[in-house]
Amino acid sequence: MFIQKNKYLKDNQVTDYSVYKKRRHFIKTMAGLGLIASTGGIIQPRSAHAVGRFSTNEKPTSFDDISSYCNYYEFGTAKSDPKRNAHSLVTSPWSVVVEGECERAGRYNLEDLLKPVSIEERNYRFRCVEGWSMVIPWMGFPLATLIKRMQPTSKAKYVYFETLLDSEHMPGQRTKVLDWPYTEGLRMDEAMNPLTLLATGIYGKDLLNQNGAPLRLVVPWKYGFKSIKSIAKIRFMAEQPVNSWQKANMTEYGFYSNVNPKVNHPRWSQRKERRIGEFRKRKTLLFNGYSEQVASLYKGMDLKKNF
């Protein structure tokens, strides 16, 4: 049984995936620990100081905003399109292909892929390049757990991700707004950082279709488009992959996409952001406020050149 627990979380802050999936038992267990309130069945995030070192103590964005104001071009380019159109996506059964420079390549049923992991609860800032942000209580597990299980070879320097290609159920893929399927990538040390999460839920609920069900990436120090949704393929690579937004416009979008207020998008400033649900803008923080955990990854790099 392969289980890796975050050293900053206590045992009662981690939920075995099999328990997490058994919703009634999970809710009963959490209630018994005093971790949920009677709020219409939605499990509310606990205060950040009780969730672990990596969580922000900022007020979470409302569940309604998180689930209705989304970027997911496979279902349309308007923020309201994913909630309206994503119901067509079939997320069960689901499988993920693992390939490339690793010892355990193959096609994995999602339940088998996740069976050995423990689900953690983390509140992360989540910033989009257009200048808006949210604080989202994610449920998930470190990507590093899965990477170690797949046993990448010494040739693997990057991890590549690919979204499901299904134009029948993803109407946005019938358009030419991007080169489908959607692709993303991380350097191996970025992928192994304990902040990097494979998310399976929000607010204690399974991920909704419009939020990237059933499995998505969360990289909180990067812009939101790096956090690829509905993952169908993971590839370990020796060479740096090209992601979808690089393909779309190489001059505006780079590989790293780290939140850096000193690097403006060619069409707008990145120095300030508006938190969804708030009127007044706030200053954008370098690495989205996670400098302590990730700045060392980029020591000696020109963060303007490597944007």
Look at residue 23 in the predicted model and tell me its pLDDT. 52
Look at residue 46 in the predicted model and tell me its pLDDT. 40
Phi/psi at 268 (5° precision) = -165, 160
Distance (Å, rounded) from C-alpha 3 to C-alpha 199? 16
Distance (Å, rounded) from C-alpha 198 to C-alpha 148? 14
Look at residue 36 in the predicted model and tell me its pLDDT. 39
Distance (Å, rounded) from C-alpha 83 to C-alpha 68? 6
Look at residue 8 in the predicted model and tell me its pLDDT. 34
Look at residue 24 in the predicted model and tell me its pLDDT. 41
Look at residue 53 in the predicted model and tell me its pLDDT. 72
Nearest Cα residue to 21 out of 152, 150, 111: 111
Distance (Å, rounded) from C-alpha 142 to C-alpha 148? 10
Look at residue 52 in the predicted model and tell me its pLDDT. 61
Look at residue 37 in the predicted model and tell me its pLDDT. 37
Domain ranges of the chain: 45-298
The domain 45-298 is placed in CATH, from the list 3.40.250.10, 3.40.30.10, 3.90.420.10, 3.40.50.970, at 3.90.420.10
Look at residue 15 in the predicted model and tell me its pLDDT. 61
User: Are residues 128 and 274 in contact, defined by beta-carbon separation less than 8 angstroms?
Assistant: no
Distance (Å, rounded) from C-alpha 184 to C-alpha 170? 18
User: Are residues 208 and 86 in contact, defined by beta-carbon separation less than 8 angstroms?
Assistant: yes
Distance (Å, rounded) from C-alpha 212 to C-alpha 221? 19
| Helix intervals (H) in the chain | 17-21, 23-32, 63-68, 81-85, 110-114, 143-150, 188-192, 244-248, 291-294
Look at residue 12 in the predicted model and tell me its pLDDT. 39
Q: Average pLDDT of each block of 10 consecutive residues along the chain (307 residues)? A: 34 55 51 41 37 82 97 97 97 98 98 92 93 96 97 98 98 97 98 98 96 98 97 98 96 95 89 94 96 97 93
Look at residue 43 in the predicted model and tell me its pLDDT. 36
Question: Residue 124's beta-bridge partner residues?
Answer: 136
Cis upstream peptide for 93 (omega within 30°):
yes
Sequence length of the chain is 307
For the stretch 235-256, what's the b/e string if a residue is b when 16 or more beta carbons lie within 10 angstroms of its beta carbon? bbbeeebebbbbeeeeeebbbb
Pairing of strands 231-237, 14-16: unpaired
